[in-house]
Amino acid sequence: MNFDYLEAFMYVVRFKSFHKAADALYLSQPSITARIKGLERELETQLFTRQGRGVTLTAKGKEFIPFAEQMIRTYQQSKQKLQTKTDERKFTFGANIITAQYVLPHFLRYFQEMQPDLEYDVVCGGNESMMEAVSRNEIDIAFVRQQGKELDDLIIRPFLDNSILLVVHPDHHFSSTLQYTAHKIAREPLVFFECGAFNWNLVHKIFEAHNVKPTIRHRVGNMEVAKSLIVNRAGIGFLPKLAVKKELESGELRSIDVSHLMNFNQQIEGVQSVGNPLSLPIERSLLESVKLFEQQSSLISAH
């Protein structure tokens, strides 16, 4: 069976769109359509039905997914066995410091279970240095702060939600069900953590927009110190969601709704080079590892 047909099928399954699958594979939409039609001819069955601009799997299409995955996996494994290069390099992850500390240890546990034979390195650094290393093909994929821009030589995709939260000690007089004004928040002693991993200008803009000066009691450059100060009631603070996930789940900290003041939605993005695309098995393992990481967080929160 034609490997290109299988690859096109799995990309359409993932993106639920011929057009988006074509963009991801750097092909024209007619090429993707032709490959899907070729696969359907070989299988003598319809795999997708169109719904507006998107597509939906047929019942037979859903049944075919595990077989397609197995054939792709077998193809990749046989290709690796036949290519006996002595200089083949390891797979390399890159991440900014916060992502490396609070996400990768959990995420990589799932990834390693899916890719037990893959050797990999982890490189940590600032967002800009990570992106430059990806451009030079020194890193296969880097996880960095949301960029808000597109670059010709890089593929940038959302990876995990890392919105900024206002967090307080659970006994703090702020209620998680109320919406407080910027003036009210500014009167509270603030633990202000600032580093290059996130767009902290958003926090400053809250107070600038309301012409009020915040009461910054502690300025710290270490995340654990910032969390410890808030846990020990030294003040309240704005911290990234992934960094305080454990404390929110355990009840050591509580988040306060400030969405009415500013859009604090931020993403950790996966960045890879256009000239160094990930193999389909690696990409699927990455996506599945993210899903398991998020599901585990939800299960812990439920308890």
DSSP, residue by residue, 37-59: HHHHHHHTS--EEEETTEEEE-H
Q: Are 37 and 30 in contact (CB under 8 A)?
A: no
Local confidence pLDDT in tens for the 303 residues of the chain = 788 899 999 999 988 999 888 888 888 999 999 999 999 999 999 999 988 778 999 999 999 998 988 888 787 767 666 654 444 457 999 998 888 888 888 889 999 999 988 888 999 888 888 888 999 888 999 998 877 666 778 888 888 888 889 999 999 999 888 889 999 999 999 998 876 545 567 788 889 889 999 999 998 888 899 999 999 999 999 998 888 988 998 999 999 999 888 888 888 899 999 888 888 889 899 989 888 887 765 433 433
Q: CATH for 3-82, among 3.30.2320.80, 1.10.3720.10, 1.10.10.10, 3.30.420.40?
A: 1.10.10.10
Burial of 41 (0-12, 13-18, 19+ CB in 10 A): exposed
Q: Where exactly does CATH 1.10.10.10 map onto the chain? A: 3-82
**Residue 120 in tokens:** 């990999």
CATH superfamily of 164-256: Periplasmic binding protein-like II (3.40.190.10)
Q: What is the largest CA-CA distance in the chain?
A: 70
Q: Are 75 and 3 in contact (CB under 8 A)?
A: yes
Q: What share of the chain is helix, strand, coil (3-state, %, to 5)?
A: 45, 20, 35
Q: Where exactly does CATH 3.40.190.10 map onto the chain? A: 91-161+267-302, 164-256
Rounded CA separation 241/262 (Å): 15
CATH code assigned to 91-161+267-302: 3.40.190.10
Residue with tokens 């633990």: 191
Taking phi first (over 0 means left), then psi (-120 to 50 degrees means alpha), and beta for anything else, what does residue 233 get? left
Please give the model's pTM, rounded to 2 decimal places.
0.61
